Amino acid sequence: MRLLTELLSRGEAMLKGIKLLSWAAALSLAGATALPVRAEIQLPPPEEIPEEILRTEIITEARSPLNGEPLSPAAYAELQAQLEARQTTPTVRSDLRQLILLLQIRRGLKPILPFLP
């Protein structure tokens, strides 16, 4: 009990010079677990652009996904259209297709027939 009152009196002495304290720091002083913390709010620097504005900004400079060179918006849209039109399903040779089918059948039978190699 005497230790607690001593800690509280030390805490009161520390509180005299501090203007603002957070609730967590004031509560932790009773247990003497942390130093008091000043609660100050600072504004961002004026040259920093807010995130809300950056989200709505239209990007007019684009880079090619193929080689990274700068493109105009029209050239970028044209390249994207060409890439989307060019996407076709890859064809697999018939012998590889048969091998894949046999491996899939083997994988399906393995839990039923565990002695298969």
Closest alpha carbon to 4 in 36, 25, 32: 32
User: CB–CB of 36/21 below 8 Å?
Assistant: yes
Distance CA 34, CA 12 (A): 14
pTM, two decimal places: 0.30
Any long-range contacts for 111-116 (C-beta under 8 Å, 24+ apart)? none
- % of the chain at pLDDT higher than 90: 15
Average pLDDT over residues 69-91: 84
Distance CA 96, CA 89 (A): 16
Which pLDDT value is given to residue 105? 94
Helix or strand or coil: residue 62? strand
